[in-house]
Chains A and B, each alone.
Chain A
Amino acid sequence: MKARLKSLWVLHYDGGSCNGCDIEILAALTPKFDVERFGIVNIGDPKQADVLLVTGPANHRNQRVLRNLYDQMPEPKMVIAVGTCACTGGVFHNCPNVLGGIDKVIPVDVYVPGCAARPEQIIDGVVLAMEKLAGKAPEEEE
C-alpha cells in the first residue's frame, strides 16, 4: 500500500488542449519542481501507469481514445483532470464537437482547475489523488 503511494506512474494524455496545461505538467518534472522525488515518473504506457493526467476537453473524436486508454490501465488507477478544459470544457464547452469535461467519458478522481493550471496546483492535485488512493485502498483490496 505504501508502495503505491510512493510510486505513482503517470500517463499524460492531451485530448485537444492548447498545450498550455501540458507544458505546465512537463514543467512539474523539471528540476525546479521535480516531482520525481515523490516517485512520480512520466511513463507513456497505460499498461504500466497508475495515474491518467488528462488535459483538454472531451470531444466526439477523442472520447473513444480516452475510454480506450482508461480501459488499458490496470487498477488501482486515478484520473486527474488538469486545466479548466478537462474539468468542464473551459472556453470550448459550447463548441459543436465538444462533449464537455472529461468526466463525460471517464470517471474523474481529482479536478485541477486553472487556465493554465500551475505546477504547484498540479502537484497539489496529485497529492490529493494520493490521499484519495490511500483512503480508497481498504475498499478496493479484493
Chain B
Amino acid sequence: MNFRYMVPILYVLATPLMGGLMMGLDRKITARMQGRVGPPLVQPFYDVIKLWGKEPFISSRMQPILATGYLVFVLTGLTLLALKADLLHILFTLTLADICLIVSAYNSESPYSNLGGRRELLAMLSYEPIMVLTAMSIQIVTGSFLVSGIFSYGTPLLLVMPAAFIVQILVLIIDMKKSPYDVSGSGHAHQELVRGVYTEFSGYTMALVELGHWIKTVFILSLICLFWAHNLLFGAVLALALWFLAILADNIYPRLTWKSMLRTTWLTGFTLILANFVVLIVLEVI
C-alpha cells in the first residue's frame, strides 16, 4: 500500500524542480538558437526566489487566494495524473485552475490584465476541445477515462491514435506561451499586452503563478508520455521531441492572432482526431 503511493508522490514532489529545470533548458536552447549564450539552467529558480522576496503588492484581496488556487489545482491535477485517475476529470480540474487565473486577471480592473484574461480564455477555448477529444479517444480505445487503463491496454496509444498525439504540439505551444500562439501573455523576453494575463501579478503572487505554470507544462508533457505508456522512457523522449518542436516554432513563427489560433486548433484538432476515429472504425479496431 505504502509503496504504491510512493512513486507518484515522489514524482509530484519532484515536479517543481523538473519544471524549473525544463524552463531553464527552454531558455538556454532558445538562446543558442538565437546565437546567444543564454542564462544558466537554474535561472528560473533565481527568478522565483527573487519574486518571493519582493515587497508584496496585490491588486485586490482576492488575488493571493486565486493565485494559490491556480497553483493548488494544477498540483491536484498532476497528483491525480500520477495516481492514474480519470483523465477527463483531471482536465476539468485544470480548467478550474485556469479559471482561477483568469478571474484574477479580470478582477483587477486593468485594461491589459482584462484583455489578457480574455485572451487566456480564448487560448483555453482553443486547446480544451483537443484535450477533451484526446480523453474521449482514450475512452473509446481503452474503455474508460482512467489513465490506468492506458497502461493495461495492449498497444501503445501512439500507434492507435496518432492524430491525438500530433495535435498535442498545438496544446504545448499554447500552454508554453510560445509563438505563434502566445496571445495571452508571453514568455519572459517577449511582451504581449505588457504581461497579458500576468500583468497585475507581482512579488509572491507572481511566484505562485510561475510555479503553477511550470507544473502545468510538466503535466502536459507527462500526458504526452502516456502515448507510449509501456515504456515511459520512450514516452518521455516523445514528449521532449514535441517540446523541442515547440521551442523551434517559437523561434521561427511570429505571433499570430487569436482568431487564427482558434481556427487552426479547431480545424486541425477536430479533423485529424475524428478522421482517426473513422479509420479505427473502418479497421474494426473499435
**Is A–B contact present in the complex under a CB 8 A cutoff?**
yes
Chain B contacts for A36, CB-based, 8 A: 27, 31, 36, 38-39, 189
Interface residues as binary, A21-40 with B (CB distance below 8 Å gives 1, 0 otherwise): 00000000101001011110
Query: Given that A3-B49, A37-B38 are known contacts, is A47 also in contact with B43, CB under 8 Å in the complex?
Result: no
Closest approach, in angstroms, between the C-beta of B104 and any C-beta of chain A? Answer: 13
Q: For the complex formed, measure the closest distance between the CB of B162 and the CB atoms of chain A, giving whole angstroms.
A: 37
Give the contacts of B53-93 with A (CB-CB under 8 A): 53-57
Contact partners of B50 in chain A: CB under 8 A: 3-4, 6-7, 50
Total residues of chain A contacting the partner, CB 8 A: 25
Majority secondary structure of chain B interface residues (helix, strand, loop or mixed): loop
Interface size for chain B: under 10, 10 to 19, 20 to 34, or 35 or more residues?
Answer: 20 to 34
* CB pair B35 A47 closer than 8 Å: no
B57 touches A47 (CB 8 A): yes
B residues near A74, Cβ cutoff 8 Å: 54-57, 202-203
With most chain B CB atoms within 10 A of its CB, the pick from A2, A34, A38 is: A34
Whether B202 and A47, one on each chain, are in contact in the complex, defined by CB atoms closer than 8 angstroms, is yes
A48-B206, A74-B57 are known contacts. Are A41 and B31 too (CB-CB below 8 A)?
A: no
Rounded to whole Å, the gap between the CB of B267 and the closest CB of chain A is 33
Q: Tell which of B193-201, B221-229, B233-241 binds the partner.
A: B193-201
Give the A-B contact count at a CB cut-off of 8 A: 86
CB within 8 Å of B: which A35-61 residues: 36-39, 41-45, 47-48, 50
Q: Tell me which residues across on chain B come within 8 A of A3, comparing CB atoms.
A: 45-47, 49-50, 53
Please give, as numbers and ranges, the residues of chain A lying within 8 Å of B38 by CB-CB distance.
34, 36-37
CA distance A31 to B56 in the complex (A): 34
* Distance of B25 from chain A, by nearest CB (Å): 14
Selected contact of B37 from candidates A37, A39, A76, CB within 8 Å? A37
Q: Would B49 and A75 count as touching, CB distance under 8 A?
A: no
Residues in A with CB closer than 8 Å to B39 are 36-39
Residues in chain B within 8 A of chain A (CB atoms)? 27, 31, 34-40, 43, 45-47, 49-51, 53-57, 188-189, 191, 194-195, 198-203, 206
3 closest A-B pairs by CB: A47-B202, A3-B49, A74-B55
23 A-B contacts, Cβ less than 8 Å apart?
Answer: A3-B45, A3-B46, A6-B43, A7-B46, A7-B47, A7-B49, A7-B50, A29-B189, A37-B36, A37-B39, A37-B40, A39-B46, A42-B191, A43-B195, A44-B195, A45-B198, A47-B57, A48-B195, A50-B50, A74-B56, A75-B54, A75-B55, A76-B55
